[in-house]
């Protein structure tokens, strides 16, 4: 029998490391069995027994008796304690480390999307390591805010993107650019959000520069924007400080797309919003002096508003909208003129009705009859140039109203046969 102060040591490990005694005892049993087989022969039916109360270690082996029955006898070597301790030491340490890694993985697994606070340990161009206490988190370059400096020892709030299980332990990937970080910061600073009174409906963010947050209140007596801003801006100021000066616009979410888009363009004032629900597009008309504010620097405000609402947004000033409307009206008139019925009325004016689709004439029966006669070849359509009376009076060559202009007085009383033939037709 081999006896260690084993149980006391394992209880201490359980207190300090949070590892259950049974986990270590199981690892120790495997290690002792391996050590016995290595040093005393690879017996097939060997069992290691560790007393959970006293820590006594015994080795048992199954052997056949003379009568053929199988019995289990103790075969614990005299020097097994020293050999077992030497052999099992590294294995036990390794199992303890694995158990610790599993505990740390279990602690962070499932926390993707949560916010954690850590201390910057190492920073270079490849990555930044952040100490979270029992594990180090990795902040990759593509998740770092451009222009932010992470000095050693600085406390930093980050957003957990992913938790990976590796041979070296859990690897926690965090971000400073994810929109979820802004959402979690609001949940920490605004009690109404954590209580469910105010709800964050959408977040659009360009990390380090500007963000927009759409909120709605589930209580008609609570102003969602005011709750997020806080008294004299105290709540949103804490968030801006944590994001190192990033501007945050808080707007009220509306079920009506036109109102929501108008709110999202804030801080610019909006005159009118024309939405196309089928194509998810919105045309926003703003006063001329608000156009640059609505678009923002390099289109940032309009871009964030589009991300926040999920709509494609076109912004026009009032003068641009008026010009576009006039051009559209002129285009409609031109299209209408092209579709005007070609029939000439008795008073010499053109029919004002629109031609039916696939025809040059309107739906009036007599005009449709005319179209049929033209199609059948009964009438031949000849293009003529129409001139007003004033121009006809000025141009003598085009004035055919009297025979005097013909220059031949002998034909004054004669009938023009060609004219007569046309009249008969």
- Domains in the chain, start-ordered, CATH in brackets? 2-108 (3.30.1480.10), 115-175 (2.40.50.140), 254-338 (3.30.300.20), 342-407 (no CATH)
192, two tokens: 């109404």
4-53: per-residue pLDDT in tens? 577 787 788 788 777 788 888 888 888 888 888 877 776 678 888 888 88
Q: What is the pLDDT of residues 159-178, one digit of tens each?
A: 999 998 887 778 899 999 99
The two three-digit tokens of residue 293, written as one number = 């504010």
Alpha carbon distance, N-terminus to C-terminus of the chain:
136
CA 229 vs CA 119, 138, 202, 252: distances in Å: 28, 32, 16, 12
Rg (CA), the chain: 45
For 75, residues 6+ apart whose C-beta sits below 8 A from its C-beta are 46, 59, 60, 61
CA distance 274 to 400: 57
How far is Cα of residue 49 from the mean position of the Cα atoms in its chain?
A: 58
Q: At what angle do helices 21-40 and 80-108 cross, to 10 degrees?
A: 140
Which residues lie across from 41 on neighbouring strands?
A: none
Q: 339-355, pLDDT tens digit by residue?
A: 778 787 878 788 888 88
Q: Where are the alpha helices (DSSP H) in 54-141?
A: 80-108
Residue by residue, pLDDT tens for the chain (425 residues) are 555 577 787 788 788 777 788 888 888 888 888 888 877 776 678 888 888 887 788 888 888 777 778 888 888 887 777 776 776 677 678 777 887 788 888 888 888 999 999 999 987 777 899 998 878 899 999 999 988 888 889 999 999 999 988 877 788 999 999 999 999 999 999 999 999 999 999 999 999 999 999 999 999 999 999 999 999 999 999 999 999 999 999 999 999 999 999 999 999 999 999 999 999 999 999 999 999 999 999 999 999 999 999 999 999 998 888 887 777 666 665 666 667 787 878 787 888 888 888 788 888 888 888 888 887 877 676 665 545 554 454 444 444 333 343 444 444 444 443 333 333 33
């Amino acid at each position: 029998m081999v006896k260690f102060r084993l149980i006391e040591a394992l209880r201490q490990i359980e207190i300090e490391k949070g590892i259950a005694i049974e986990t270590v005892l199981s690892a120790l049993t495997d290690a002792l069995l391996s050590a016995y087989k290595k040093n005393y022969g690879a017996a097939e039916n060997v069992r290691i027994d560790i007393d959970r109360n006293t820590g006594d270690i015994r080795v048992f082996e199954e052997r056949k008796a003379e009568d053929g029955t199988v019995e289990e006898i103790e075969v614990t070597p005299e020097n097994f304690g020293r050999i077992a301790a030497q052999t099992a030491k590294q294995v036990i340490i390794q199992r303890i480390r694995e158990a610790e890694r599993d505990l740390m993985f279990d602690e962070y697994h499932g926390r993707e999307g949560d916010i954690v606070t850590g201390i910057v340990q190492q920073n270079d161009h490849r990555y930044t390591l952040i100490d979270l206490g029992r594990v180090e988190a990795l902040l990759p370059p593509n998740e770092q805010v451009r222009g932010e400096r992470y000095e050693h020892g600085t406390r930093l709030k980050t957003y957990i993107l992913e938790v990976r299980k590796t041979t070296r332990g859990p690897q926690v990937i965090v971000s400073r650019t994810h929109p979820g970080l802004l959402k979690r910061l609001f949940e920490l600073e605004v009690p109404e959000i954590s209580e469910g009174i105010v709800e964050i409906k959408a977040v659009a963010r360009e990390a380090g520069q500007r963000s927009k947050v759409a909120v709605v209140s589930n209580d008609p007596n609570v102003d969602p924007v005011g709750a997020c801003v806080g008294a004299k801006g105290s709540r949103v100021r804490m968030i801006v400080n944590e994001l190192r000066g990033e501007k945050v616009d808080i707007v009220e979410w509306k079920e009506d797309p036109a109102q929501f888009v108008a709110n999202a363009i804030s801080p610019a004032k909006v005159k009118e919003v024309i939405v196309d629900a089928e194509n998810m597009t919105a045309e926003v008309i703003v006063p001329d002096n608000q156009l640059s504010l609505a678009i923002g620097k390099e289109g940032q405000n309009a871009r964030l508003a589009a991300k926040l609402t999920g709509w494609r947004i076109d912004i026009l000033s009032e003068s641009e909208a008026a010009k576009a409307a006039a051009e559209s009206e002129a285009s409609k008139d031109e299209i209408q003129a092209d579709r005007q019925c070609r029939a000439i009325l008795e008073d010499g004016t053109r029919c004002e009705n629109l031609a039916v689709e696939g025809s040059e004439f309107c739906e009036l029966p007599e005009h449709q009859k005319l179209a049929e006669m033209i199609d059948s070849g009964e009438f031949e359509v000849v293009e003529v140039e129409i001139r007003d009376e004033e121009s006809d009076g000025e141009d003598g060559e085009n004035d055919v109203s009297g025979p005097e202009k013909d220059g031949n007085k002998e034909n004054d009383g004669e009938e023009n046969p060609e004219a007569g033939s046309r009249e008969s037709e």
